[in-house]
Amino acid sequence: MKDDLGIDRESLAARIGTEYGLWVGRIEFLPKGEVGYCYLIDSDIGLRYLVKVLPSTRMGLKSAKALDFCLPLMWNLFHGNYFRSLPCPVRTQAGSLKSDFGGMPVVVYNFIEGRTINDERPSDEVLATVARQIARIHNCAPYIGTENPPIDDLGIPFKGEMLTGLETLERTTQGNGEGMLALRDLILPLKEELLGRLGRLETLQLSVRGIKKQTVLCHTDPIGSNILIDARGEVYVLDWEGAILAPPEHDIFAFTGDRFDLFLDNYEDEFGRVCLKTDFLGFYLYRRILEDLVDWMIRILHENRDEDQNRRDLEGIIRDCISDLPHLEPLIERTDQVLRRREG
């Protein structure tokens, strides 16, 4: 049986059996994520594993490059008992933390049963636990186990693609397909605003590059779909491909909002006192929204193979990018007020 990527599940199961020494009793295709294709497998000894295949797309190639850092990191954190609330990668019989299938990287993780908090507002108790987990990750910088970890350069790597994408949309005609036309009609009326937001991001970039800042181990994507709660109420952090050394704001920006004080109280209980800068939080807020927007634009313009995926990506642009733009500056202002009050 083949999935929409063209992967034959039986062949993939056979490859996993050969590489990992696992007899795969059942393999189930899970809903496609934003980057990779995931499968749940049941082994002959009753253990369950998550298999992730990274396709040769723009985002897939970026994630594949990150594996050389994030997989040893996850292994070291888990087996060193520094941070175990994560899906640990499984080694192949040859000792590697990854394999391949048809030229695409394959990673096998221990499977964690539970639910993510993507579609719900977490309780205060869950948010407090998440805050402590983020703090524990930030405290793990001494235990990453590599001499040359990636460090956030505070860049805007998607700027050129954003400008090129806007130019492409201006040339889009009826012959380009329903998805591209819908993207054009959504984005082009917002072109001047988006360029203004990009200019604001560049201003914030100049500011933060002039500030000397502590770096910690950051996950960089602690959104609801990457926070999992198991049946015992334990909180796990998933999808570590973006892990990097960066200022703590690179994770903390995701928790600005109406319960920012609650998050910070619990974060500092675990991490200790932290000096946060509004411009750093603003930089990461702007960078994340615009980067997500560009990622979806590129997929619709150059990668998607069907209109259903185009529609899902357009929904993502509206839900997670366009709808948030008007709230960015008020959020940054409220965040600044919280930080000033806490400093006082």
What pLDDT, on the 0 to 100 scale, is given for residue 263? 98
CA atoms within a 13 Å half-sphere pointing along the CA-CB vector of 95: 0
Identify whether the C-beta of residue 243 lies closer than 8 Å to the C-beta of residue 70. Answer: yes
What pLDDT, on the 0 to 100 scale, is given for residue 1? 53
3-state secondary structure of 206: helix
The dihedral through the CA atoms of 115, 85, 149, 51 has a sign that is: negative
What pLDDT, on the 0 to 100 scale, is given for residue 120? 85
pTM above 0.85, yes or no: yes
Per DSSP, 225 falls in state: G
What pLDDT, on the 0 to 100 scale, is given for residue 306? 87
What pLDDT, on the 0 to 100 scale, is given for residue 187? 98
Domains and CATH numbers, the chain: 9-111 (3.30.200.20), 124-343 (3.90.1200.10)
What pLDDT, on the 0 to 100 scale, is given for residue 3? 60
Exposed e or buried b per residue across 267-304, where buried means at least 16 C-beta atoms within 10 angstroms of its C-beta: beeebeebebbbbbbbbbbbbbbbbbbbbbbbbbbeeb
The CA–CA distances, whole Å, from 112 to 178, 223, 279, 294 equal 39, 17, 36, 31
- Sites in the chain below the pLDDT cut of 50: none
The CA–CA distances, whole Å, from 204 to 125, 191, 216, 282, 287 equal 33, 20, 20, 7, 10
3-state secondary structure of 322: helix
Identify whether the C-beta of residue 235 lies closer than 8 Å to the C-beta of residue 228. Answer: yes
Q: Which two tokens stand for residue 173?
A: 């005609």
What pLDDT, on the 0 to 100 scale, is given for residue 176? 82
The CA–CA distances, whole Å, from 278 to 9, 198, 228, 315 equal 48, 18, 28, 30
What pLDDT, on the 0 to 100 scale, is given for residue 33? 65
Report how far residue 310's alpha carbon sits from residue 304's, in angstroms, rounded to the nearest whole number. 7
Report how far residue 55's alpha carbon sits from residue 37's, in angstroms, rounded to the nearest whole number. 8
Q: Which two tokens stand for residue 134?
A: 């983020």
The residue count of the chain comes to: 344
